[in-house]
Amino acid sequence: MRRRRRDTAGQALAEFALVLPIFLLIFFAIVQFGVLLSAHIGLTNAVREVARFGSTVPTTDGSPSGEVAVYLLDTALPDHVAAYSANNLGGSSVTYCRYIDARGAYSVRLTVSATYDHPLFVPFIDVILDAIDGIRDGAFQLITSEAMRVENPPLGFEPPLGDCS
């Protein structure tokens, strides 16, 4: 009985040493995905806020798009995306287009989109995630867009904008 007990001494430590790297990899992957999810939610909220802001500014020719773009870059993104850096903004756009609504009247639609390259910081996980988005740059690309109808008074004419597709 005594001999058998001595042979198994340290077995749990050896098993723990084998399993620990796998558990740490899973734990840090969860942390990295949590940070990415938080950034994507912030990016989505920022784009939605800007689209809502832009939809309240009446337009028939897309003229306030500069004001809306400035609001996106200077206020909404820094307020909503944790650890926001303008250098990581892959691109943003504010576009207007025309369409015929259910009443048969012309309406204007605003579309705001943004691409943000969120940096990856967890070793080993960054290599896996960096390969998923297809660009080896040490960041994961987050993309979101929002479209809303501009709250114009009813238009009796065809606005000089491109058609919505």
The answer to whether residue 163 is domain-embedded is: no
The answer to whether residue 48 is domain-embedded is: yes
Length of the chain, please?
A: 165
The answer to whether residue 56 is domain-embedded is: yes
> How large is the average pLDDT for residues 148-164?
85
The answer to whether residue 160 is domain-embedded is: no
The helix (run of H) or strand (run of E) holding residue 79 is helix 77-80
The helix (run of H) or strand (run of E) holding residue 147 is strand 139-149
Lowest mean pLDDT of 6-15, 48-57, 94-103, 117-126, name the range. 6-15
Could you give the number of structural domains in the chain? Answer: 1
Q: Give the model confidence (pLDDT) of 9-41 as tens digits.
A: 688 888 999 999 999 999 999 999 999 999 999
The answer to whether residue 42 is domain-embedded is: yes
Give the global pTM. Answer: 0.82
**Rg of the chain, C-alpha, whole Å:** 25
Q: Give the model confidence (pLDDT) of 131-146 as tens digits.
A: 887 778 888 999 999 9
The answer to whether residue 162 is domain-embedded is: no
Which residue range is the domain that position 30 belongs to? Answer: 11-149
The answer to whether residue 157 is domain-embedded is: no
The answer to whether residue 155 is domain-embedded is: no
> How large is the average pLDDT for residues 99-121?
88
